[in-house]
Amino acid sequence: MVSEQPQTISPLLLARNREHIKGSIGLDLLPRLKDIVAKSEGQVQYSFSFDIDQDEICIIKAYVDTRISVICQRCLKPISIDIERNSILGIFSNSEELDRLDNEYEPFELDEETISLDMLIEDELLLAMPIAPLHNDNKCKDKNTTKRSTKNIKENPFSVLKKLKNNKA
């Protein structure tokens, strides 16, 4: 697998230079996603535009797009779903910066100067994942299977839930 992209990136530096990164990565290279999908085949297309807004906040305009196979929570058979997500991440490293973030931004905490590009892609995909994917009614093979199977859902990392909560606040 050839990757021309660096594995770690410095968002603040990229924002200062107004850089743009795009490419694709195999689903099999994203470990947290691998736990959730039924088959880790296929590619994720991504693009990130780094910028600084009028309030001097570093932002990342993120786009991810892929097709994944997950387990239907009704019949427990695989189902293919398209995942596409556009978001604007507002970078912060302390509470004062967090307070200044525009409401339309997704808060993105930066603890260290560099982050893993793969993790950034993975975070975006995880946030776009449906909590309980289901076939359309007529495609579900076994409707008697209990709806309450949460095996796959439990494996959603807590960080995702935390992030979702933050967004609502």
Chain residues in the site for Zn ion (CB under 5 A): 72, 74-75, 135, 140
CA atoms lying within 13 Å on the CB side of residue 158: 0
| Inter-residue contact 22 to 69 (CB < 8 Å) | no
- Residue 60 corresponds to which amino acid? I
Residues near 84 by Cβ (< 8 Å), separated by ≥ 6? 63, 64, 65, 66, 128
153 vs 117: CA distance, rounded Å = 24
Of the two residues 30 and 72, which places its CB atom closer to Zn ion in the complex?
Answer: 72
Return the residue nearest Zn ion (CB atom).
72
CA atoms lying within 13 Å on the CB side of residue 109: 11
As a whole number of Å, the end-to-end CA separation of the chain is 40
CB of 147 to Zn ion, least distance (A): 10
CB of 151 to Zn ion, least distance (A): 14
Give the pair of three-digit tokens for residue 155: 């494996």
CB of 47 to Zn ion, least distance (A): 32
Of the two residues 72 and 91, which places its CB atom closer to Zn ion in the complex?
Answer: 72
CB of 165 to Zn ion, least distance (A): 29
CB of 30 to Zn ion, least distance (A): 24
Of the two residues 20 and 139, which places its CB atom closer to Zn ion in the complex?
Answer: 139
58 vs 36: CA distance, rounded Å = 31
Of the two residues 56 and 82, which places its CB atom closer to Zn ion in the complex?
Answer: 82
Of the two residues 96 and 137, which places its CB atom closer to Zn ion in the complex?
Answer: 137
